[in-house]
A = this chain, B = another copy of it.
Amino acid sequence: MGKALVTDLYELNMAASFLRRDMKERATYSLFVRRLPTNRGFLVAAGLEDCLSYLESFAFAEEDLAWLRGAGFPAQSVEQFADLRFTGDVEAVPEGRVVFANEPILEVTAPIAEAQLVETYLLNQITYQSALATKATRCRLAAGDIELIDFSLRRTHGTEAGMAVARVSAIAGFAATSNVEAARRFGLVPSGTMAHSYIEAFSSEEEAFSAFAEDFPGHTTFLVDTYDTLAGVDAAIEVIRTLGLSEGLAVRLDSGDLAELARLTRERLDAAGLPDVRIVVSGGLDEYDLAGFREAAAPIDAAGVGTRMGVSADAPYLDSAYKLVDIGGRPVCKLSEGKATLPGAKQVWRHLPDRDLLATSEEPGPPGAEALLVPVMRSGRRLSPSDAIGACRERLDRDLEALTPAALDLHSPSAPEVIVSERLTRLSEEVATRLLGRRRPAPPGGREHS
């Protein structure tokens, strides 16, 4: 089974119609986010890697074709699908870069049937991975020196999403992940200790702690809140002393007032002469909790961040779109109420911290400005190997450093304004006039359009 059927039926319908009519014009589609969620001052581009792999291997498998035939799809179209590959070009914003509303994250130029067929998958991957990368970045920004560990796998929307979260949170600067398969696949640091069930499986906390320390020497984190957090800390201290443990030790707090319990735990550990035993916290944390720990100067060394990051709980989707902007050299757009788009292939010029310039792809950028969209695929082939996660992280770090405090604000962020170039503004007006001019004017919802 290939991925060609992992799409909306209308993509197949439209592509079939284009092919049947021998419409082979090269079309450009632009993938962008219409509006940022209210509580986001920036987005982090992600998902490109999976998009490029998909495009490079795009093909209908024999069983896909057989199913389409059986489902009554026109035989001629099924035959035309058989040989179809993605042969187009892609410009994209590299993963880890900061982007804003209306800035193309991806532009696909290909024979129209090909460019249309890949819409659903590209939208899916860029939308959710960028949403999750953005959330992870907010957590990282809020956490300051607290080391972060991705704990999200158990409540992501499926395991595919779990893998993506581990990867994009590493781009965001997380130090490790609990997700073993993601660690294997992406070369991340796996991290994990014990659950409450482990403690309960022994007849006492001390017994459980001793057993674990014996089985995993050198990296032992004691989960101390199964029954009573501070008593658990005392039990851990006792086991550390009894067994003479000294390296790679931590306690994990997973419930209650974590900042306060961390302070009390630190006191006990220090009083016991164990200043090197680290304190890890977890339990439904997000960027607001992490910021709270910093404000309270809680002595927390690391935090496991799970569910709320892993589903981007306060903004689980982005208002993304994949829109035809040019066909055969003719710029087009839609004028739908509240969903109008800008025509033509574009470039985004960055001269942060002030603002970005959204321009036609043909005009030169302002002096000193950097082009965000770069060529990543030509004639269906990637132009370079996959980006290392470290390279994406460095890009993100640089972009974050240049961001305005308003965009970085955790609670009421506002994104820098994206300026539309004069030439793009003029082009939009021309195209709108052309499109409205050539069709009967009609009253939408009772009002007359000019």
A137 CB–B CB distance under 8 Å: no
B112–A124 touching, CB < 8 Å: no
B334–A5 touching, CB < 8 Å: no
A155–B192 touching, CB < 8 Å: no
- In the complex the two chains form, what is the Cα distance from A161 to B165 in whole Å? 14
**Segment from A140-148, A289-297, A319-327 that makes contact with B:** A319-327
Neighbouring B residues of A324 by C-beta, 8 Å: 196-197, 200-201
A95 CB–B CB distance under 8 Å: no
A14–B154 touching, CB < 8 Å: no
- In the complex the two chains form, what is the Cα distance from A157 to B310 in whole Å? 10
Closest Cβ neighbor of A238 among chain B residues: B440
B190–A9 touching, CB < 8 Å: yes
A228–B123 touching, CB < 8 Å: no
- In the complex the two chains form, what is the Cα distance from A206 to B121 in whole Å? 29
- In the complex the two chains form, what is the Cα distance from A132 to B201 in whole Å? 33
**Segment from A270-278, A336-344, A345-353, A386-394 that makes contact with B:** A336-344
A6–B256 touching, CB < 8 Å: no
Copies in the complex: 2
A255–B200 touching, CB < 8 Å: no
Neighbouring B residues of A283 by C-beta, 8 Å: 339
Give the contact-size bracket for chain A. Answer: 35 or more
Q: Closest CB-CB distance, A194 to chain B, in whole Å?
A: 6
A55 CB–B CB distance under 8 Å: no
- In the complex the two chains form, what is the Cα distance from A356 to B194 in whole Å? 33
A192–B231 touching, CB < 8 Å: no
A157–B154 touching, CB < 8 Å: no
Neighbouring B residues of A151 by C-beta, 8 Å: 8
Partner of A336, one of B10, B74, B256: B256
Partner of A160, one of B14, B161, B446: B161
List A residues 59-101 near B (Cβ within 8 Å).
67, 71, 74
Q: A17-B198, A442-B230 are in contact. Are A10 and B317 (CB under 8 A)?
A: no
